[in-house]
Structure 1
Amino acid sequence: MQLKLGGRVLLMLGLCISLWLVWNGSRKDPYEISLHVFPNGYVSEFNRVNDTPVKLDIRCMGAGPGEAEDLFCMERPRYLSDFKNPCWYAKEDGKLRLKCIPYYHILGVVKSGTTDLAYRIRAHEDVFLNQKEIHYWCLRRYGFKNSLKMKAETPCNFSCYQQKFDTVTHRIKETTSDTGHHSMITGDATPVDFQDFRGWPKIPQNVGLKKPVVMTPHLMRHVYTDPKFILIFRNPTDRLYSDYIMRTRKSAEDFHEAVTRDIQIEETCMKNHTVEYCLYSSDIGRTLQTFIFFGCYSVYMREWLKVFPREQFLILRTEDHDQDPKAQLRKVYNNLKLNYTEEWLSYIASVPHLNVSKKKKREGPMLKKTRVLLDTFYSRYNRDLADILQDKKFLWLT
């Protein structure tokens, strides 16, 4: 009996050793970097760092007719350690070519000072050409041309998105420190990316579903290891008026009529459907005269925080940026790990604000009754946002 037991132990031990040898003989060194290139420049599964706070468990489905490119059929790029910006080598036309995508994203929100903020970041010597209004993540990957009527155009795939940064990539590659490190970075300033999810039915994993399981945050989580997201929120009532006046030549009275109509459309929808359904619906979006749904910040913030940890986001307020741009810019530079002097910070903060709407000054303030209407509509979303961020400033009570 003892001999049989001893034989089984030896057999099991031998089997374990054999499996260990097979595994370690077949697997590649997880720290192997240099110029080993995977198909399309993407790293294979066993080399990925398990840095996802929530396991996505999203499978490649492949894109069907009329669907957006399935990013989950691609593996995450193998980012190079000697580049601060996310860059990698990919084989293209039989040659190794450097590819780069943004180090940071100014995700949102529209008409909240994103153009001004993007300029003050771009002014830093280590930042090159943050691209403004690319609209890849929110519109163009789905074949939509603009946010209002969502007119169709040829979809832009991930390769197309990379090409937007070809000039930037060359500059990043040729700029090095004494140690050979490439410290230059670039960004994507497309503020609609934060809250325009209306292309969700075209994502292959969502096809045939009544509500999305995959949205922009999931797609970006698949592509990036350590993204830096910047959000600048503005009182949603003021934001909507500024946006409307910028896009139209209409008056404050016209704005009141449009708001009254759009609130009725959204609230009628919400009596029969979820809030998310009504805010993410492209069909409802096409019936609206304003982007009233963009101001429901907390709904979108919750979607992003389901996928990314809170520390991935630097969240500012337009009102604070207007009042003390130097303090806000210090937060931004620190978040992006950019070196600066107080003299430089004072100088760039003193530059007059960009993209100030002359049309709004010409049309005058919104009507008081419109403000009451919008403040009431947005109040629950503001309370929710203040609760999420644990900051009463996002109630916009003063």
Structure 2
Amino acid sequence: MVEEQLTTKKTDDTGACILFQQVTMKVTQGQWVLLVLVVCALLWFVAEHESEMAIYDIKNIISPRGYLSEAKKVDNKPEKHSTGCVGAGAHMAEDLLCMERPKYLPNFKNPCWYAEENGKFRLKCVPYYHLLGVCKSGTTDLAFRIRAHEDVLPCNDCLGEKETFYWCRRRYGYTNRMTSIAPCNFSCFQDQFAEATQRIEETSTEAGYHNMITGDGSPSDFSDFRGWPKIPQNAGLEKPVVLTPHLMRHVYTDPKFILILRNPTDRLYSDYMMMGGLSAADFHEAVTGDIQIEENCMKNHTVEQCLYSLDIARRLRTRIFLGCYSVFMREWLKVFPREQFLILRTEDHDQDPKAQLTKVFNYLNLNYTEEWITSIANIPHKRVSKKKILKGSMLEKTRVLLDRFYSRYKKDMADILQDKRFLWLT
């Protein structure tokens, strides 16, 4: 019986081989190509669905220049299921992803469009540029010098003619201290540029081109993601899949982002003093406790979960999380290519403001003369902290502690930007 089975199997195998040869001889070259494509498609399908929670390392897809091309943006699995309109539930922020992107007008340099309002068509505008961050790094001074240009208009009803706080806090119904207020919706945000909009509409070149622009200089927009649980797409999740960059990408077609970054250790001390700090000794005590809180959190959660957490932030005595630049930079580069960002250092701006301003005005496509930009660069710096001068420098042991905490983030930032200056070694 066994021999009969083996003989039968051998006969079957031989027949199968002959049949395969006959079929193979009849397959055309085009059919072979089709067969290869089908196999490749099957392999892709298996790889794509092997793990719905695959983790992506952005380093593997960053180009040598440090930015992501449009074709190489991080395609994070958790983000795929929540990029559309879901609608705002109770206690949630307005769902911007339900809004159709405005149809921006080609004869306006600033992003503007006409919208029907009370039976009439009115011009609406949003910022041409965002001075994204970071806090206590010279954003007030830089914003002042940008607004010195005759073609740049300030926002109205905003802090220092530069900060709306819309993207980082007000749209979620939070104040600077993260206490609750009435949320500011997208129409509310537009209203803060109503005066600039009127000037933009009234001013044009002989060719009919409206060349005036406005901007938003809210430095917390870059790194304050604490309102993420109120984004409708994040409802019920332990970590966000939609953040400020995703929302901005939905609203803007070609945004211009300016970042001015400062050594995070120095930034934190300046921020602490601005927020009502008492002394260098008290700062050391606060930093010691805050580092322990963040590091304890990171033992059981991701770095992002700890840095974006409002609950953790409310336990901190300083805003130590704002200095972990690389974590936030990676979020922005998942959505926007590197060339959308002009990234400066506070230390360079202090040392050679003219060179930095030249970069800024070129980036914003603003005309200027050498004489004019020299005069703007020579204006004394704005918002120099007198309180910090009176309280003295931070303690050396505090600097050592903070430098150690921030070292991993500085190294990561230098790698992302392919620029060792962001190690702040000198």
| TM-score normalised per structure 2 | 0.80
Distance between the aligned counterparts of 2:202 and 2:291, measured in 1? 52
- Whether 1:120 aligns to 2:145 is yes
Residue 173 of structure 2: aligned partner: 143
Please point out which of 266, 269, 272 is paired with 1:241: 269
Partner Cα separation in structure 2 for residue 301 and residue 99 of structure 1: 30
Cα deviations by residue, 1:354-389 (Å, 9 ceiling, x for unpaired): 000000110010000000000000000000000000
Q: Offset at 1:59?
A: 1.0
Q: Give 1:327's aligned residue.
A: 355
- The question of whether the paired residues in 2 share the 8 Å contact of 1:252 and 1:364 is answered with yes
Aligned amino acid, residue 325 of structure 1 = P
Kindly provide the amino acid, as one letter, of the partner of residue 238 in structure 2: K
State the distance in 1 between where 2:267 and 2:175 align: 22
Please give the residue correspondences for 1:154-193 in structure 2 after superposition, counting only pairs within 5 Å: 154-193=182-221
1:278 matched to 2:303: no
Cα offsets for 1:178-233 (capped at 9, x unmatched): 11100000000000000000111110000011111100000000000000000000
Aligned to 1:25: none
What is the Cα deviation at residue 249 of structure 1? 4.4
What are the superposed Cα offsets for residues 304-328 of structure 1, whole Å, 9 maximum, x if unpaired? 0000000000000000000000000
**Identity in percent:** 72
Moved over 6 A (4+): none
Q: Distance in 1 between matches of 2:323 and 2:236?
A: 28
Equivalent residue number for residue 216 of structure 1: 244
Alignment partner, residue 22 of structure 2: none
Residue pairs, 1:1-398, within 5 angstroms? 54=73, 58-130=83-155, 131-146=161-176, 148=177, 150-398=178-426
Look up the SS of the partner of 1:378 in the other structure: helix
Report SS of the residue matched to 2:327.
helix
TM-score when normalising by structure 1: 0.85
Q: Distance in 2 between matches of 1:209 and 1:203?
A: 11
The residue identity in structure 1 corresponding to 2:133 is G
Instruction: In structure 1, give the amino acid aligned to 2:163.
Output: E
Q: CA deviation at 1:145?
A: 1.2
Shift of 1:162: 0.4
Distance 1:216 1:249 in 2: 29
- Corresponding residue of 1:48: none
C-alpha distance in 2, partners of 1:268/1:129?
43
Preserved contact between residue 109 and residue 192 of structure 1 (Cα < 8 Å): yes
Secondary structure, in 3 states, of the residue corresponding to 1:152?
coil
The worse-fitting range, judged by mean Cα deviation, of 51-60 and 224-233 is 51-60
Task: Compute the RMSD of aligned alpha carbons.
Answer: 1.2
Measure, in 1, the Cα distance between the counterparts of 2:290 and 2:72: 37
Give the superposition deviation at 1:53: 7.2
Q: Distance in 2 between matches of 1:183 and 1:257?
A: 51
Name the amino acid aligned to 1:166.
Answer: A
What are the Cα deviations for residues 28-66 of structure 1, in whole angstroms up to 9, with x where unaligned?
A: xxxxxxxxxxxxxxxxxxxxxxx8975886110000000
SS at match of 1:60: coil
Kindly indicate whether the alpha-carbon contact (under 8 Å) linking 1:53 and 1:307 is maintained by their aligned counterparts in 2: no
The alignment covers a number of residue pairs equal to: 346
Q: 3-state DSSP class of the match of 2:311?
A: helix
In structure 1, C-alpha distance between the alignment counterparts of 2:71 and 2:303, rounded to whole Å? 27
Q: Is the 8 A contact 2:280 2:393 kept in 1?
A: yes
Deviation at 1:246, TM superposition (A): 1.4
Structure 2: gaps spanning 5 or more residues: 1-69, 156-160
Q: Structure 1, residues 264-293: CA drift from partner, whole Å, max 9, x if none?
A: 000000011000000000000111110000
**Within 2, Cα distance between the matches of 1:249 and 1:233?**
22
* SS of residue matched to 2:152: coil
Deviation at 1:133, TM superposition (A): 2.0
**One-letter amino acid of the structure 1 residue matched with residue 123 of structure 2:** L
Q: Does the CA-based 8 Å contact 2:277-2:283 persist in structure 1?
A: no
Give secondary structure in 2 for the equivalent of 1:81: coil
CA distance in 1, matches of 2:162, 2:367: 23
- CA change 1:249–1:197 in 2 (3 A) is closer
1:53–1:308 contact (8 Å) kept in structure 2: no
Identify unmatched segments of 5+ residues in structure 1: 1-50
1:247 positional shift: 1.5
